[in-house]
């Protein structure tokens, strides 16, 4: 049951093989039984899930329900959910109950999904290993001694362990794609503006984007269909029609031009990961694609640029967590300054503090031009690299992450080495492009991912390209053997 795709589960619901309540209970039981060893959920909302499932069953009976009606999902704990605790992986929001639903949550609710709970994540989405969560590290279901990646590590782990058929995630510098790669699942970061950010707790507003985390491109298409679209509550959401993402999934790839950036295959890339990626690319050649080497000459500037822009924005975005209206407040503040200082010192973890400090510094008088402004200029150069590339090729491919899941604690005290986990994904956020990570052949026995980058709003093409590989291979069907 838990290895079924959304389409298969939806068919089962319609055929009356099981009800949504039964399906929901099935996954709740799995969570209960298996998540203790993974810690992929921060909050499981059984009661709400079962009553949503009941409603979905009614909807299914009366007909007219969409493909997601009655399907259990999990939300990354960065999406505000009315009446259900939203922690964002932080002590700061340990008891925060949102008074409203994020647009993504509203849309998926409208599609009839059943929310099983909220998944663990790096605190305020700042991290690449899920170790910065106040609620404890998430374990990679393939090897529980290793990290699942981050920041959407809980979503990636719960889908990989089949504790939920699908989950939502968010990606600011690779936070959907990198954990998807490390957990052997499919993760799509759409074009910036494709999915509304309203109700998604902001990390870096100009980079944040929500997307689906699934076991297949086919499921990702169904999820994106429900999530995408203009939202008048988000001025940066794109007022563009949403195409049918499932319609062209099986389109033929003959003549598809794949660009391989030479900068993505150089120093720092693990040899086994490289081999797995090359193997996948060879599959694409078999499917009729042409491969050309391209250059994205400013790739080496992506990580430093990101670590100015993202902290700068986060330093401002996280100012609202001040202990005044909601969230953690220190005991007995003696004055206003004490209230601010202690509430924030106690409420935020080290990585969040590190980034607030970096960002505050980068925006300070006298440093703004040298850091923030310069970073914005470099950001343009990076976008221009991609623009030029897409004049030659249809999609760009490379590894999602330079390495497979590393051991818990291995990089925890080496932020720069941790930041390099996102070396191939960050530029895509800086340029605002869509990217998808799909599982390929294991690298030395561990999951790894192929990243496919598309032009603006080319999600349908990405899903088509991803799905064709998943038609031709079974990499995406592999599930962790130690989890039944």
Partner 1 sequence: MQWETVIGLEIHAQLATKSKIFSGASIAYGAEPNTQACNVDLGMPGVLPVLNKEAVRMAVKFGLAIDAEVAPRSVFARKNYFYPDLPKGYQISQFELPIVGVGSITINLDDGESKVIGVTRAHLEEDAGKSLHEDFHGMTGIDLNRAGTPLLEIVSEPDMRSAVEAVAYAKKIHALVRYIEICDGNMAEGSFRCDANVSVRPKGQEKLGTRAELKNLNSFRFLEKAINLEVERQIDIIESGGEVVQETRLYDADRNETRSMRSKEEANDYRYFPDPDLLPVELDDVFINEMRQTLPELPDEKRQRFETDYSLSPQDAITLTSSRELANYYEAVVTAAQGDPKIAANWVNGELAAALNRDAVDITNSPVTAELLAGLLKRIADQTISGKIAKQVFEAMWQGEGDADAVIEAKGLKQITDSGAIEKMVDEVVANNPKQAEQYRSGKDKLFGFFVGQVMKQTKGKANPQQVNELLKKRLAQD
User: Which of residues 5, 86, 119, 425 is near partner 1 by CB under 8 A?
Assistant: 86
Residues pairing with 436 in the sheet: 188, 452
Contact of 180 with 211, CB cutoff 8 Å: no
Nearer to partner 1, 252 or 338 (CB): 338
Nearer to partner 1, 238 or 438 (CB): 238
User: Which of residues 7, 46, 54, 236 is near partner 1 by CB under 8 A?
Assistant: 236
Give the strands of the sheet with 395-399, arranged side by side. 41-44, 114-119, 72-76, 166-171, 209-214, 186-189, 435-439, 449-453, 395-399, 257-261, 290-294
Helical segments of 35-88, H only: 46-62
Q: Write the DSSP assignment of 245-292 as a string of letters.
A: TTTTTT---TT-EEEEEGGGGSTT--HHHHHHHHHHHHHHHHTT-EEE
Asked if 332 is part of the footprint of partner 1 (rule: CB under 8 A), the reply reads: no
Nearer to partner 1, 141 or 323 (CB): 323
Query: Binding segment for partner 1 among 30-38, 311-319, 403-411, 471-479 (CB under 8 A)?
Result: 311-319
Interface with partner 1: number of residues (CB under 8 A): 44
Active-site annotation holds for 334: no
| Residue among 5, 20, 40, 76 flagged as catalytic | 76
251 burial class (0-12, 13-18, 19+ CB within 10 angstroms)?
Answer: middle
Asked if 335 is part of the footprint of partner 1 (rule: CB under 8 A), the reply reads: no
Contact of 181 with 160, CB cutoff 8 Å: no
Asked if 388 is part of the footprint of partner 1 (rule: CB under 8 A), the reply reads: no
User: Which of residues 271, 325, 413, 481 is near partner 1 by CB under 8 A?
Assistant: 325
User: Which of residues 122, 322, 351, 459 is near partner 1 by CB under 8 A?
Assistant: 322
263, 267, 289, 265: which is closest to 276 by C-alpha? 265
Is residue 397 classed as helix, strand or coil in its secondary structure? strand
Nearer to partner 1, 93 or 258 (CB): 93
Q: Shortest Cβ distance from residue 197 to partner 1 (Å)? A: 6
Asked if 99 is part of the footprint of partner 1 (rule: CB under 8 A), the reply reads: yes
Query: Binding segment for partner 1 among 22-30, 35-43, 85-93, 419-427 (CB under 8 A)?
Result: 85-93
| Residue among 40, 129, 152, 175 flagged as catalytic | 175
Q: x/- site string to partner 1, residues 346 to 385, per CB under 8 A?
A: --------------x--xxx--x---x-------------
Phi, psi of 182, deg, nearest 5:
-70, -25
Structural tokens at position 476? 């995406």
Mention every residue, 6+ apart, whose C-beta is less than 8 A from residue 34: 161, 163, 483
Q: x/- site string to partner 1, residues 185 to 224, per CB under 8 A?
A: ------------xxxxxx-xxx------------------
Q: Shortest Cβ distance from residue 400 to partner 1 (Å)? A: 25
Active-site annotation holds for 477: no
Q: Strand 114-119 and strand 41-44: pairing? A: antiparallel
Q: Strand 290-294 and strand 257-261: pairing? A: parallel
Mention every residue, 6+ apart, whose C-beta is less than 8 A from residue 211: 168, 169, 170, 171, 176, 187, 188, 189, 190, 195, 220, 224, 227
Active-site annotation holds for 76: yes
User: Which of residues 32, 319, 392, 482 is near partner 1 by CB under 8 A?
Assistant: 319
Active site residues: 76, 151, 175
Interface contacts to partner 1, rule CB under 8 A:
79-80, 86, 88, 93, 96, 98-100, 102, 197-202, 204-206, 232-236, 312-313, 315-316, 318-322, 324-326, 336, 340, 360, 363-365, 368, 372
């Amino acid at each position: 049951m838990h290895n079924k795709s959304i389409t298969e589960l939806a068919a089962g619901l319609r055929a009356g093989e099981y009800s949504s309540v039964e399906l929901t209970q099935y996954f709740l039981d799995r969570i209960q039984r298996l998540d203790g060893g993974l810690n992929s959920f921060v909050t499981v909302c059984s009661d709400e899930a079962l009553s949503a499932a009941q409603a979905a069953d009614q909807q299914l009976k009366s007909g007219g329900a969409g493909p997601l009606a009655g399907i259990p999902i999990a939300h990354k704990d960065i999406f505000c959910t009315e009446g259900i605790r939203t922690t964002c992986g932080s002590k700061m929001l340990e008891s925060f109950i949102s008074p409203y639903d994020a647009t993504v949550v509203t849309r998926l609710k409208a599609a009839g999904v059943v929310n099983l709970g909220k998944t663990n994540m790096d605190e305020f989405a700042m991290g690449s290993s899920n170790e910065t969560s106040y609620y404890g590290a998430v374990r990679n279901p393939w090897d529980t001694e290793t990290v699942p990646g981050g920041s959407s590590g809980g979503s990636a782990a719960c889908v990989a362990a089949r504790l939920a058929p699908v989950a939502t995630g968010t990606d600011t510098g690779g936070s959907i794609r990198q954990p998807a790669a490390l957990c052997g699942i499919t993760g799509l970061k759409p074009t910036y503006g494709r999915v509304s950010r309203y109700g998604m707790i902001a990390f870096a507003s100009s980079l944040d984007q929500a997307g689906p985390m699934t076991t297949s491109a086919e499921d990702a298409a169904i999820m994106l269909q429900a999530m995408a679209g203009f939202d008048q509550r988000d001025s940066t959401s794109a007022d563009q029609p949403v195409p049918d993402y499932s319609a062209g999934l099986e389109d033929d790839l003959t003549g598809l031009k794949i660009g391989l950036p030479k900068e993505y295959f150089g120093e720092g890339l693990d040899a086994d990961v490289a081999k797995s990626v090359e193997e996948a690319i060879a599959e694409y050649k078999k499917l009729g694609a042409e491969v050309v080497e391209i250059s994205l000459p400013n790739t080496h500037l992506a990580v430093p640029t990101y670590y100015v822009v993202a902290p700068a924005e986060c330093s401002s975005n996280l100012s609202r967590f001040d202990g005044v209206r909601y969230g953690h407040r220190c005991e007995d503040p003696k004055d206003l300054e004490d209230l601010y200082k202690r509430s924030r010192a106690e409420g935020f973890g080290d990585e969040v503090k590190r980034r607030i400090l970096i960002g505050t510094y980068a925006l300070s008088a006298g440093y703004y031009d040298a850091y923030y402004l310069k970073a914005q200029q470099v950001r343009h150069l990076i976008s221009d690299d991609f623009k030029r590339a897409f004049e030659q090729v249809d999609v760009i491919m490379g590894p999602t992450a330079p390495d497979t899941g590393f051991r818990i604690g291995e990089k925890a005290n080496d932020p720069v080495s941790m930041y390099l986990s996102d070396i191939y994904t960050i530029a895509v956020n800086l340029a605002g492009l869509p990217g998808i990570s799909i599982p390929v052949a294991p690298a030395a026995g561990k999951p790894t991912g192929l990243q496919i980058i598309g032009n603006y709003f080319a999600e349908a093409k990405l899903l088509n390209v991803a799905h064709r590989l998943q038609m031709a291979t079974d990499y995406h069907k592999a599930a962790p053997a130690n989890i039944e």
